[in-house]
Structure 1
Amino acid sequence: MVFKPRSEWSTVLSHLVLAGVSLHAAVSSVQSSRGAAAGFLLQTFAAIAMLAPGLNTQEDCLAGAWVATVIGLPLLAFDFHWVNGDHSSANLLLGGGMVLAVAGDRLGPEGCSVAGQAVLLVVAVTILIVAVFTANTYGMWGGAMLGVAGLLSRLEEDRLLLLPKEDVCRWALVAGSWAYCRALHTQRLQWE
């Protein structure tokens, strides 16, 4: 019972910060990258929906996280690949995300969880690979933090670092989203 108030505050704070960082990233990248801006905007809406009264049921949480993961994250990676000339990977990531979004009802809760974690890890690894080859330090950090969020979500423990596991994963997503926004900005400057 001692951790209950701390857990509630950490959950609310992690959602608010994720929404704020994602909204800032969407606004700052809308002129240069509409796909990434849409991905960040989906993350913003998913984080805000978790805080809305009456929408915080398990089904709503899963639906918001599902959309932000299988459509939002591939949208983020799409532009990163497209600008670097890797059109086939960009299209494959986005197409795979769209297929998963449509097939989500047929996968069941555990299937959706595994598919969402797989999408998160695939996006993180592909961003990391492109960032390494283009020497984009922010992209490396963004890909690494998205990967950390994906790996932490696979752990069986309920608490990490005295916080609920989901909150720690969200903080990793916050760091990854911020770094990825900076990576997109750096990438655009390199190509101009």
Structure 2
Amino acid sequence: MAPRPGGEWSSALSHLALGAVCLHAALSTAQANRGAAAGFLLQALAAATKRAPGLGTDEDCLAGAWVATVIGLPLLAFDFHWVNGDCSSANLLLGGGMVLAVAGEHLGAEGRSVAGQAVVLVVAVTILIVAVFTTNTYGMWGGVVLGAAGLLSRLEEDNLLLLPKEDVCRWALAGGSWACHWALHTQHLQWE
């Protein structure tokens, strides 16, 4: 299939949006939620390096996106659980992400794809569960939108909503990250 004329702009804008949202979230949550800030920063760096010319090979960019998914997203969920006293779930999520980050080299492309999508869905569901029990509306929206990004990535279609599927997933990740940022901010205000 020939690339569409607007596809490059769509991809650049989705990377920029995800990177900007995650960088802003990392900077504004650094004082209160350092784990979440590190998770946001990993996602922002992966989005930035994917679009920056001359910053490495495609394999380096794929490795960065892999680490941002399997470590960055669990760091977000880690803070949701940790702040609410569920330390065992927080440690389990982060430990699982660390194991996947190391094992990623031994998985094939399809295995990494399935594992990455599973991580997104597990993180989304755990954030949603914590948000429901703490009545954190932003957290509920963040969990739902992150889950939607994980489910959309499983679709067989190449285009969704007239955009490439990968771009739609990045826009959903940006929206979910924005909502999670506000959920953590709300959570921090409740604990003060």
TM-score interval, smaller chain: over 0.9
Shift of 1:108: 1.2
Q: 2-11 vs 42-51, which deviates more?
A: 2-11
Distance 2:110 2:3 in 1: 28
Paired AA for residue 140 in structure 1: M
> Please, which runs of 5 or more residues in structure 2 have no aligned partner?
none
Paired AA for residue 91 in structure 1: N
Asked if residue 137 in structure 1 is aligned to residue 137 in structure 2, the reply is: yes
Kindly report the root-mean-square deviation, in angstroms, between the aligned alpha carbons of the 2 structures: 1.4
Asked if residue 151 in structure 1 is aligned to residue 138 in structure 2, the reply is: no
Between Structure 1 and Structure 2, which shows a larger proportion of helix residues?
A: 1
Distance 1:152 1:56 in 2: 28
Distance 2:79 2:126 in 1: 12
- Structure-2 residue corresponding to 1:33: 33
- Structure-2 residue corresponding to 1:174: 174
TM-score under structure 1 length normalisation: 0.96
Shift of 1:107: 1.0
TM-score under structure 2 length normalisation: 0.96
- Structure-1 residue corresponding to 2:17: 17
Distance 2:149 2:163 in 1: 14
Could you list the runs of 4 or more consecutive aligned residues of structure 1 that deviate by over 6 angstroms after TM superposition?
none
Distance 1:104 1:173 in 2: 21
Shift of 1:59: 2.2
Q: Counterparts in 2 of 1:101-116, with a 5 A limit?
A: 101-116=101-116
Paired AA for residue 76 in structure 1: L
Q: What percent identity do the matched residue pairs reach?
A: 79
Shift of 1:84: 0.4
Q: Counterparts in 2 of 1:28-177, with a 5 A limit?
A: 28-55=28-55, 58-177=58-177
| Count of residue correspondences | 192
Which whole-Å deviations, capped at 9, do the CAs of 1:14-62 have from their partners, x for residues lacking one? 0011111000000000000110000000001000001111347542342
> Please, which runs of 5 or more residues in structure 1 have no aligned partner?
none
Distance 2:158 2:2 in 1: 15
